[in-house]
Chain A
Amino acid sequence: MAADVHLWTMDKYGESTAVQKKVLIIDDSPAQVKLMQSLLEKEGYWPVGLSDPKQVENMIAIERPNVILLDVVMPDRNGFQICRDLKGNAEFNMIPVILVTSKDTASDKYWGQQQGADGYVTKPFTRDDLTRKVHELLSAALSRN
């Protein structure tokens, strides 16, 4: 099993604290959520799952994830809409969003980018595809901070 992935932060006393990186997984299929959770857990992340796309903002406010994995084809509210809403929200727009979807055409990817997505992973993915993209975006976010 891989070592836990930590984000080092300074607390108010100037002490550095390790915080396990939290990944919010949004997919209407609980089986897909569970699968991604298991894969990310093995890599040392702290995955949190959500199957109801209407609860995204509430969940983010509570969990404060470091990165979001977002499915596109979902009932009520699709991933493109959610991504657009998050990127238009000053409170959440710094959180990297990775679209994880079976929509694999160039126009889908372009449209995802237009909605402000930071990454795109096509289903079916391998463990490496998923974890590499999460790692890449977290590293980029860390270097920005």
Chain B
Amino acid sequence: MRHANVLVLTDETEFAQMLTACWQAERQAPGITVIGSELWREQDAPRHDLVVVGPLREGKLTNVLKSLYPGTAVILCVPADSREYGQLRTKYPRLVHIPLREDWAQTLLLVAGESLRRAEALRLARHAEQAAAKNENHATLGRYMLDMKHSVNNALTSMLGNAELLLLEPGQLSSQSLAQIKTIHSMALRINEVMQRFSSLASEMRDAETASQGETSDTAAPVSRRR
């Protein structure tokens, strides 16, 4: 898993120290930045995978939540009876809230771990989507080239054949024309080689795809039989 970045936004030093200490005792600790509400400016901060909002000064919670990037995962860790939180619950129904009780640190670490895994999975899915879109473009280009192969081969037949016809009776041609026709002929042969390499590559790719599909269905089938 990529190293995750967590921002802890709180005005309570004890909360920050406790959380950081618990996290650092874990096998995989994320990069943690602690900041108070007075110094917090979302536009200056680098993008974080998770924001943990701890106890803040009175009246700061609403502004802090409002300033966060909408896509950021947020865990709110404030007392359940906080007046400000009570008002925010209706506005942010999907906000993950962990009440500040005895075991808050352990609960928060569990929820944060899941939240970070989810963020990582989303990041990987986005990358996979981008890669798939790129591959789709390449596939379109490849299909177009395959479609054009017939026309290219027909044109090459004419080029090669007519050059060969002219070369059959070289007596009528000047030495310069003869050399030029030989060049046309050898270049046409070279294009033909390139097209043949392209054809064999296309056929290899088709075979590999068929084999891979066959293998997938071969391995998928016994699973249901094994039961």
Contacts and interface: CB of A to CB of B under 8 A. Distances in A.
A61 interface: no
Contacts, number: 53
B157 A39 contact: no
Interface string B63-80: 000000000000000000
A37 to B, nearest CB: 10
A37 B1 CA distance: 68
Given A103-B150, A104-B199, A106-B203, A126 B160 contact: yes
Interface residues of B, number: 19
Interface in B169-227: 188, 192, 196, 199, 203
Interface string A20-44: 0000000001011001101100100
A124 B157 contact: yes
Contact of B161 (A103, A105, A127): A127
A122 B157 CA distance: 10
Given A102-B149, A104-B199, A106-B203, A123 B154 contact: yes
B203 A124 contact: no
Contacts of B149: 102
Contacts of A126: 160, 164
Contacts of B168: 42, 127
Given A42-B168, A124-B156, A102 B161 contact: no
B24 interface: no
Contacts of A73: 150
A5 B203 CA distance: 39
B157 A35 contact: yes
B158 interface: yes
A80 to B, nearest CB: 15
Contacts of A125: 157, 160-161
B165 A32 contact: no
Interface of B: 149-150, 153-154, 156-162, 164-165, 168, 188, 192, 196, 199, 203
A27 B153 CA distance: 14
Contacts of B154: 29, 32, 102, 123-124
Contacts of A38: 161, 165
A35 B162 contact: yes
A102 B153 contact: yes
Contacts of B199: 104-105
Contacts of A104: 153, 196, 199
Contacts of B188: 124
A36 B153 contact: no
A124 B149 CA distance: 11
Nearest to B150: A102
A49 to B, nearest CB: 14
Contacts of A39: 161, 164-165
Contacts of A103: 150
